[in-house]
Structure 1
Amino acid sequence: MRYARLLALSLLLSFSPALFAREGSANVSSACATLEFMAKMVSLNAMLPADFDDVGEMNIMVDVLAELNQLACQPVILTGYRRGNSFYGNGSLISNDLYHKAWYFQNGQLFMAEPGVDTTIYYPNGRIMAYHWMHGDQALFWPNGAMATNYFRAFDETWYYPDGNIITYEAGYAGGRWFYPFQRLDGGVGQEVISSNWGIEDEGFTFLNFTNQGQLFTARERIRRKLIFDDIDLLDVPGVLLIITRLYQAADMAKQFAPADVNITGAPF
């Protein structure tokens, strides 16, 4: 009888509102981290499009992501009412339950079927970002539909730009070789190398410069400060690429998705 009571008590505690709320809050954090990562992917595809990409569509998607971020992820707390009654300004549904039900974009497109679980993740244009998001060994796709990598969050895997050029053959490896998305400027075979020892302090990298006439030339610089990455940082290839584009003052909106995070890198969970 004593053991039966203990079992009943443990079951009761496992379904307590406090525990259920903590689980739901973690689900929202997971969904918002996913949204942040998607913002990196969309921002990069808009800045580095393939030949036939619709950049206007990409920029619209950035705005769509920003609106969902503002309404679902930026509030300090989610009240019980807000959690179950989330709508956009145009009246379309965000979610019937941000903790445990599907999330939608303001155009009605499904974002995810349920936060915090292994599910397919969709871009606002209806294309798939990942078929099995919570698995680390699954393929990841750019908003234009091109494959970004065969194995997300896996070490020593190849990543591709939206136009199919190689980013790196060695994701998650400090000291790996990373490439710009264009051919070598000296006329040699292959892509221009960013660095053959990317992320390692005091190693060299190729910095692009432009004359007043718009002519491109390169200089060798040293990897210092925010360009020093460890292996975990370098698993977040889109985050690292955004830091590279910011070397050239390229504008992006991805930073607003993590206002308390001084570093854009960080793979979601």
Structure 2
Amino acid sequence: MKAIKILSMTILISAFALSTQNAHAGSGSANVSSACATLEFMAKLVTLNAMLPANYDDLTELREMEVQLAELNTMVCQPVILTATTRGNSRYDNGARVSNDLYYNSWHFSNRQLFMAQAGEDTTIYYPNGRIMAFHWMHGDQAIFWPNGNLATNYFRAYDVAWYYPDGNIITYEAGYSGGRWFYPFPRLDGRIGQEAIASNWGVEDESFTFLNFNSNGALYTSRERIRRKLIFDDFDLLDVPGILLLVTRLYQNTDSAKQFAPADINITGAPF
């Protein structure tokens, strides 16, 4: 009887240890998923900044950053299975290590610039050029900055707030609000003061939006089109302002490196988690 009790206790202890280990690994895996979602969001910001630069922006630097983000994405975020080697000894072609533990330690880019101090934690997020994307990423309602250092928004994942283009022009005053006014980053084509509007009821099915056209001479003119299918957004969709802007640029067959990041076009507002 005593032997049976000891055996039962041993089995219980082993089962508890295994469940604890699995839970620990599960939380680590969630941390990696959160970090990869953060990387995808950063890729959107870098790509948009490269497509819509401010006057003083270094385009070569922005393109190099796109490459560095792609390297990290390919090495860590795209593999279906995160092996022990990948977790603790992933190295770039130049020999620099991504992290000595992707679950719980710092991540770095190929130029050895810190990306984040720890995945899944409230920490400062850095671009490959050393500028800060967010000071307190896990808090929500925090300021987000473009790679050129300019403010993108004062309140990420907050409804009815303003977002700005990399050059400071307004994107919208009403993020997270279906039916709000969104703007292109250039002056009105009719010569009046202000920016050309994408739509006054953006995201609402069958409402109209301004579509840009170019004639054979390259001159720009507009037409009115209907909001349908992929352009129908609810309030939650419209919190991901960079993701929505990339969908707009793809209307014009613009290529962008953010497409290669998985999961493509998912709403970042659910992560980090």
When normalised by structure 2's length, the TM-score is 0.92
Match of 1:76 in 2: 80
1:233 maps to 2:237: yes
Match of 2:34 in 1: 30
- Tell me the CA shift for residue 134 of structure 1: 0.8
| Alignment map for 1:1-269 (pairs within 5 Å) | 16-258=20-262, 261=264, 263-267=265-269, 268-269=271-272
Q: Distance in 1 between matches of 2:208 and 2:85?
A: 54
- Tell me the CA shift for residue 265 of structure 1: 4.0
- Tell me the CA shift for residue 56 of structure 1: 1.2
- Tell me the CA shift for residue 79 of structure 1: 1.4
CA-to-partner distance for each residue in 1:60-115, whole Å, 9 max, x for gaps?
10010000000011111111232111211110010000000000000010000000
Q: Is the 8 A contact 2:37 2:268 kept in 1?
A: no
Q: Distance in 2 between matches of 1:106 and 1:15?
A: 36
Secondary structure at 1:32 match in 2: helix
Code of the aligned partner of 2:252:
Y
Secondary structure at 2:98 match in 1: strand
- Tell me the CA shift for residue 152 of structure 1: 0.3
CA-to-partner distance for each residue in 1:13-72, whole Å, 9 max, x for gaps?
698110100000000000000000000000000000001101111111001000000001
CA-to-partner distance for each residue in 1:103-143, whole Å, 9 max, x for gaps?
00000100000000000000000000000001111100000
Structure of greater Rg: 2
Q: Distance in 1 between matches of 2:155 and 2:206?
A: 30
Moved over 4 A (4+): 12-15
CA RMSD, 1 decimal: 1.6
Match of 2:6 in 1: none
Q: Distance in 2 between matches of 1:116 and 1:212?
A: 51
Mind listing any 5+ residue stretches in structure 2 that lack a counterpart? 1-8
Mind listing any 5+ residue stretches in structure 1 that lack a counterpart? none
Identity over the aligned pairs, expressed in percent? 68
Code of the aligned partner of 2:247:
I
Q: Distance in 1 between matches of 2:83 and 2:244?
A: 35
When normalised by structure 1's length, the TM-score is 0.93
CA-to-partner distance for each residue in 1:153-199, whole Å, 9 max, x for gaps?
00000000000000000000000000000111101111110000000
Q: Distance in 1 between matches of 2:100 and 2:268?
A: 29
Secondary structure at 1:195 match in 2: strand
Q: Is the 8 A contact 1:154 1:235 kept in 2?
A: yes
CA-to-partner distance for each residue in 1:237-266, whole Å, 9 max, x for gaps?
0000000011111110111111x54x4544
Q: Distance in 2 between matches of 1:129 and 1:94?
A: 19
Q: Is the 8 A contact 2:165 2:185 kept in 1?
A: yes
Q: Distance in 1 between matches of 2:267 and 2:245?
A: 9
